[in-house]
Amino acid sequence: MTWMPLEVKRTKDNGIVVLQCNGMLTIGPGTTVLLEACREAMAATGTAGLLIDLAGIERLDSAGMGAMVTVMNECGAKKVGLAIYGMTQRVKELLAITRLDGVLPCFADAASARAALTNRERRAARGSE
């Protein structure tokens, strides 16, 4: 089986940046590509939240999981919402084994992830966050 290096496709809609990840989220270029894409998205004017789609992740290692935790921490520091969705069964199992599924903001699908970010923005606008 040939593994693909990580590629991230970025789209933006109403302040929400969607990062569609495909390939390997592993030590080296994979983690670098993810971190750079997230940092660029957070730095862009008007970014209120990041949706990270992991449906295309073929392989994930501890460095990739660490990169996701780094993204979560950086989003928190910059007050940018984060929601992760589209995990394959294997990625779900790895996150469960490491207990990161209870730390990272993981959602079953794109609609529930987007709803979580939208609800977060509404609460922030009312001053409840």
Residue 116 has pLDDT above 50, yes or no: yes
Q: Which CATH superfamily is domain 7-122 in?
A: STAS domain (3.30.750.24)
| Nearest-5° Cα angle at 84, 62 to 103 | 60
Q: Which has the closest alpha carbon to 57: 94, 83, 82?
A: 94
pLDDT tens digits for 73-100? 999 999 999 999 999 999 999 999 999 9
User: What is the rounded distance in angstroms from the CA atom of residue 64 to the CA atom of residue 109?
Assistant: 20
Segment among 4-8, 51-55, 87-91, 105-109 with least mean pLDDT? 4-8
Burial of 97 (0-12, 13-18, 19+ CB in 10 A): exposed
Q: Which has the closest alpha carbon to 75: 91, 52, 58?
A: 52
Report, in angstroms and rounded to the nearest whole number, the Rg of the chain calculated over CA atoms.
14
For residue 30, the one-letter residue type is G
**What ranges do the domains of the chain cover?**
7-122
**Where does 18-127 have alpha helices with state H?**
29-43, 62-77, 89-97, 110-126
| Nearest-5° Cα angle at 17, 54 to 5 | 40
For residue 59, the one-letter residue type is R
- Residue 38 has what pLDDT? 97
Residue 128 has pLDDT above 60, yes or no: no
The answer to whether the beta carbons of residues 83 and 114 sit under 8 Å apart is: yes
| Length in residues, the chain | 129
Residue 17 has pLDDT above 60, yes or no: yes
pLDDT tens digits for 25-50? 999 999 999 999 999 999 999 999 99
Residue 3 has pLDDT above 80, yes or no: no
129: confidence class by pLDDT, cuts 50, 70, 90: very low
